Chain A
Amino acid sequence: MTIYLPIAEMSVDVFLILLMGGGVGFLSGLFGVGGGFLMTPLLIFIGITPAVAVATEANQIVAASVSGVLAHMRRRNVDFKMGAVLTVGGFAGSSFGVGIFTFLRDIGQVDLLVQLSYVLFLGIVGFLMLFESARAIFRSRTGTATRGKLHQHTWLHGLPFKMRFRRSRLYISALLPLGIGFFVGILAAIMGVGGGFLMVPAMIYILGMPTAVVVGTSLFQIIFVTANVTFLQAINNQTVDVVLALLLLTGAVIGAQLGTKVSGRLRGEELRGLLALMVLGVCAKIGFDLVSTPEDIYSISETPGFGL
């Protein structure tokens, strides 16, 4: 059964889209990431323009994250105060990011930016997580786990505007989550992702939050950041396809619930190791596309040039 998408202006198979939504939704529930870093490249792969893919995916992530965060709230795994601070930074960052996106679309470099961001950030995050989780798994297996200091004190802990985050058992400068929120917000808008794959490691390694609270809190702030991206893309670029988003989210919300249930049965470091492998896989695929000779070195676009 096919359906014509009004904004994407193409016809797609309904079941394919539902399946893609379900599969990615499952992974998003499992790992506590929005799943955008998988879905956006998939959408582009089936022929949807990057502009529509990025904007529509943001809309879909809103729903997936709401559904995911409800499950985490019931287990009291959301630090609302931390989430709120991250959201403030994320709002500013994602607004800025949509601006960059619109500008680059006009000068014809948006695809390059999207691809480069994917390779760079997925690559860095993937390797860091893989390395860390492998070490954690190795330690727990050999039983030589040595408990070090709870966390190390660096210059980051000397920053002003200290706030107490009770749920995360932290007393840190508000500038840290604000800055992280801002930076991830920019990338969320450009890459069509929620930013969970960056936010989760940043929360663990930079903020030092307990792993249990990280996933729920990440999902919580992703709701607001992606809602902002959806709204701004709809205004600036008219590229949000609600029909496509509805199909994707129907699959995704169901998948996310199942994923959340399964995630409770896996160990934290195993989850992170699996996520790292997947992140690296997507990174390698996009990196390969950048360097391999394209089928046609000429491409066409109807977007009016800069200044029009």
Chain B
Amino acid sequence: MSELRRILDPLRIFGSLRAAITVAAALVLLQIPADAARDDALAIDLSQDLIGISTGFKGADVLLFGATEGNGDVIVVVRAPNSQVIVRRKERVAGIWVNASELVFDDAPGFYHVAASAPLEDLLPLPVLDANQIGTDHIAFNPHFLLSLDQEEAFRSALIRNKQRSSLYSTGLQEVGFRGSRLFRTRVALPVNVPTGDYNVTVYLVQDGAIADRSESLLQVRKVGFEAKVTEFAFEQAPLYGLIAVIIALIAGWFAGFVFRKV
């Protein structure tokens, strides 16, 4: 693997150099004012950048707000780190529903939320939505095996549907509200079953069917306090955790038996 990286590295440097040159050339050609490409065109902030999952956690609402330089539409994408997800399809075998076929997706975000001030298809052309993975239909899930396109599409939409059912992917397009022509805000609802990790928040400023600017921010979701300690203990010291779980049960059972003898 590391050998592969060594070979790829020079290519990558060359690639990014080429990209930089292309961008610079494009800017000159299109005569875009230099400051439009800077972060100034879009400023964002979150009401909180750390969500702590503790004993009383019931989900959380994060308020995202920002300002744009000049007119334009705004798209907000919040996504949790990717993980590998297996989608299984049941079939009836001898009258019983059995998992019969499966497709592994390597890069399924654990949480995906998209909001915009106008329908996505009206704002950006499909190749741009695909390239930037904007919208649940445009996430690159990277399936493991090549199936026929029909089958792959069935598994892909099943993945989205299942995630939506557990409120982890947004259903439809959430709203970004403008106050005046420059201030905007949107609410990101994190359900109680959110995965932990460093979430990426990307805000796109769209002008004339193209991405004019983008701004990124980090949203951390962590187990804190007691919940964090229990999880860490269970995974890092599994044998001791198991032993203590058994001892707690023995003591609790004995204690109850002891208490009830007196009654």
Q: Does A249 contact B (CB under 8 A)?
A: yes
Provide the bound-state CA to CA distance between A116 and B98, in Å. 11
Interface string of A58-76 (1 = CB under 8 A from B): 0110111111111100100
Q: Is A4 touching B54 in the complex (CB atoms < 8 A)?
A: yes
Using A10-B192, A11-B192, A302-B84 as known contacts, say yes or no to A60 and B249 having CB atoms under 8 A apart. Answer: yes
Using A234-B238, A242-B248, A253-B252 as known contacts, say yes or no to A297 and B159 having CB atoms under 8 A apart. Answer: no
Q: Does B250 contact A (CB under 8 A)?
A: yes
* Stretch among B27-35, B42-50, B87-95, B129-137 lining the A interface: B87-95
Interface string of B218-262 (1 = CB under 8 A from A): 000001001110110011001101111110111011111110110
Q: Does A283 contact B (CB under 8 A)?
A: no
Provide the bound-state CA to CA distance between A116 and B254, in Å. 34
B-side contacts of A291, CB under 8 Å: 95-97
Provide the bound-state CA to CA distance between A63 and B251, in Å. 8
B95 nearest in chain A by CB position: A291
Interface string of A283-308 (1 = CB under 8 A from B): 00000001101101111111111000
* Stretch among B4-12, B15-23, B55-63, B119-127 lining the A interface: B55-63
Minimum C-beta distance from B51 to chain A (A): 12
Residues 62-100 (chain B) with a chain A CB within 8 angstroms? 83-91, 95-99
Q: Does B112 contact A (CB under 8 A)?
A: no
Q: Does B53 contact A (CB under 8 A)?
A: yes
A-side contacts of B227, CB under 8 Å: 4, 6
- The A interface, classified by DSSP as helix, strand, loop or mixed, is helix
Using A4-B55, A65-B253, A112-B98 as known contacts, say yes or no to A299 and B87 having CB atoms under 8 A apart. Answer: yes
Residues 150-199 (chain B) with a chain A CB within 8 angstroms? 154-155, 158-159, 161-163, 165, 192-193
Provide the bound-state CA to CA distance between A233 and B228, in Å. 20
Provide the bound-state CA to CA distance between A67 and B163, in Å. 42
Q: Does A238 contact B (CB under 8 A)?
A: yes
Provide the bound-state CA to CA distance between A243 and B55, in Å. 10
A-side contacts of B56, CB under 8 Å: 2-4
Q: Is A59 touching B249 in the complex (CB atoms < 8 A)?
A: yes
Q: Which 7 A-B pairs have the closest CB atoms?
A: A66-B253, A234-B242, A298-B158, A70-B257, A253-B256, A62-B249, A63-B253
| Interface, chain B (partner A; CB < 8 A) | 53-58, 83-91, 95-99, 102, 104, 154-155, 158-159, 161-163, 165, 192-193, 223, 226-228, 230-231, 234-235, 238-239, 241-246, 248-250, 252-258, 260-261
Give 12 A-B pairs besides A67-B252, A294-B90 with Cβ atoms closer than 8 angstroms: A4-B57, A9-B193, A66-B252, A74-B261, A109-B99, A235-B239, A238-B235, A240-B234, A243-B230, A298-B161, A300-B163, A301-B88
